[in-house]
A and B are shown apart, each in its own frame.
Chain A
Amino acid sequence: MLKLFTAHNSICTQKVFLTLLEKDLPWISEYIDLFNNEQYRPDYLRLNPKGVVPTLIHEGRAIIESTLICEYLDEVFLEPSLVPKTPYERSQMRRWSKHIDEGVFEATREISFSAMFRDKMRGMSEEQRQGRYRNIGDPGRKARMMSTYEQGCESPFVEQGLFAFEKMFGEMEETLADGRPWLVGQDFSLGDVSVMPFAARLDYLSILDVWIKKRPYVTAWWQRAKGRPSYYSAIAKLLTGDQIQAMAASGVRIKSQIAAKHVEVVNGSTLGAVA
């Protein structure tokens, strides 16, 4: 039996859920409480040295990194395949996961953080907060968390995040403009799986239309994606009413700031340039 370590409302785990459901594979989930620092327990760090979710356990081995877990699952369980057949299409599929892994993932964390978790951190004592920073080994990640905690949407990291989303949605619109239903062509693939949870998070924060309202092909793609049974089971069904409400309420608070910054980005401002 496949076992998956996950956390509530973890975007990266949602990719793996989508893959498991699309491939009709059964699994059991074990929840890690990120707000109680369970991800830094020594027994979990042995499986996942970065202390993040998800981790897949298959045949006694730990498989890490959500993008690579999805590719691994597709290689171990061949049918139905979520990886295209031709070398070129395969490289295109991986371009979407690269967008996510090298820009959009951090962008989502920073935007989600400035919308939701910032308030949760405000409720902590200074000592608890410092403890959280200390636990993050990666200095880049620590700097981003401290900056978004202190500056919210004004953090330069949030601005860079806006760029990352703008670039991805722009490329999606161009790619889908030839009328293809899915990002890599006629068939649903891991390219779509990579992007869906991130679009969903922006959608729940009620800020997705900042990027897609003027992009009809992306809007139609998103409707198709949300209509897949796997979307409901992997994402929508697992969220509680409280979680959905909390995301919507905190998203509304930052929406006008995000929209204003987005206009600057589109107009070619120098946001993110160094001086």
Chain B
Amino acid sequence: MLELYHNINSVCAQKVRIALYEKNQKVNEHMLTLQGDQNDPEYVKLNPNGVVPTLVHDGNVVTESSLILYYIDDAFPEPPLMPKTPVARHRVRLYNKLIDEYVHNSCTILTFATAFRPRFLKMKREEWLAEINKAPLKRRAEYKRSVIEHGLDSEFVVDALFQHLKLISWMAADLKHSPYLAGDAFSNADCAVIPYILRLELLKLHGMWIAEPAVADWWLRVQKRPSVKATVFERMKETDWAPFRNLSPDPWPKVQALLKAA
């Protein structure tokens, strides 16, 4: 029995939903709003960091999306989402590590600086500070405070953009000699990267890979995969699109200016 605690727009949950679909696994879903319910004591018992996703498989609780991806491949070997050779497997793990240590926080920074900022700006400062200080991961509160206050002018934004550009440059290098990020077959590396590229696109920042046709081509191909259509695009309701509609101001001119000045 598989149980998944998740949220439609969460990038980390998207990775895991794509992988489960690729493995033909059906799950019982528990949806979180992430507007406070991630810190409910019952949920924090399952996931001490108060983040999604959490996978429960026959009573075993697995947290951390990259570890869930490896778990799914270990528990359900067919079709494989890890390449055969140790070198290619290492490449998959490097992508996950880059994302876990840099890109994920950077994605939070860019999203809170733009799409998620209006929700906080409608609240009193003490209210939103209390909400972000509740998160068990202290470091992330500092980023969130800065971008809620300063938007794209926050001191953290330029580095967050560069971390995404680094990811894009890795993709461009790998896609030069293979159709997918870690070789000839779709793998956990692709599952892990897709949600971050999608997020840049939702934030109208697709200009960041305009000079990399191989990345643009990969993005077109992976969007057509049944797993991505079924678990990401077809799951997004109007309320999930809402934060990304009518981003005002359009982030792209500002981002272009920041990158030019850096």
- Chain A residues with CB under 8 Å of chain B are 61, 63-65, 67-68, 71-72, 75-76, 87-88, 90-91, 94-95, 98, 101-102, 138-140, 160, 163, 270, 272-275
| Structural contact, B141 and A274, CB atoms closer than 8 A | yes
Contact of A98 among B87, B100, B139, B141 (CB under 8 A): B100
| Structural contact, A88 and B138, CB atoms closer than 8 A | no
Known: A101-B97, A140-B159. A87 touches B90 (CB 8 A): no
Residues of chain B contacted by A75 (CB below 8 angstroms): 86, 89
> B75 interface residue, CB < 8 Å from A?
yes
Known: A91-B70, A140-B159. A273 touches B75 (CB 8 A): no
Q: In the complex, which residues 58-97 of chain B have their Cβ closer than 8 Å to any Cβ of chain A?
A: 60, 62-64, 67-68, 70-71, 74-75, 86-87, 89-90, 93-94, 97
Residues of chain B contacted by A88 (CB below 8 angstroms): 57, 60, 62, 71
| Interface secondary structure of B, over-half rule | helix
Complex CA–CA separation, A271 to B88 (angstroms) = 42
Known: A68-B93, A102-B100, A274-B145. A160 touches B139 (CB 8 A): yes
Contact of A101 among B57, B101, B129, B132 (CB under 8 A): B101
Q: Mark B127-152, 1 if CB is under 8 A from A, else 0.
A: 00100110000110110010000000
Q: Which chain A residue has the least Cβ–Cβ distance from B134?
A: A273
Residues of chain A contacted by B60 (CB below 8 angstroms): 88
| Structural contact, B94 and A65, CB atoms closer than 8 A | yes
| Structural contact, B87 and A61, CB atoms closer than 8 A | yes
Residues of chain B contacted by A90 (CB below 8 angstroms): 70-71, 74
- Chain B residues with CB under 8 Å of chain A are 57, 60, 62-64, 67-68, 70-71, 74-75, 86-87, 89-90, 93-94, 97, 100-101, 129, 132-133, 138-139, 141-142, 145, 158-159
| Interface secondary structure of A, over-half rule | helix
A-B contact pairs, 5 of them (CB 8 A): A64-B94, A67-B97, A95-B63, A95-B67, A272-B141
| Structural contact, B133 and A273, CB atoms closer than 8 A | yes
Complex CA–CA separation, A206 to B142 (angstroms) = 31
Given contacts A72-B89, A88-B71, A160-B138, 20 further A-B pairs with CB under 8 A are A63-B87, A65-B93, A65-B97, A68-B90, A75-B86, A88-B60, A91-B62, A91-B71, A94-B67, A94-B70, A95-B64, A98-B100, A101-B100, A138-B159, A139-B158, A160-B139, A270-B133, A272-B141, A273-B141, A274-B133
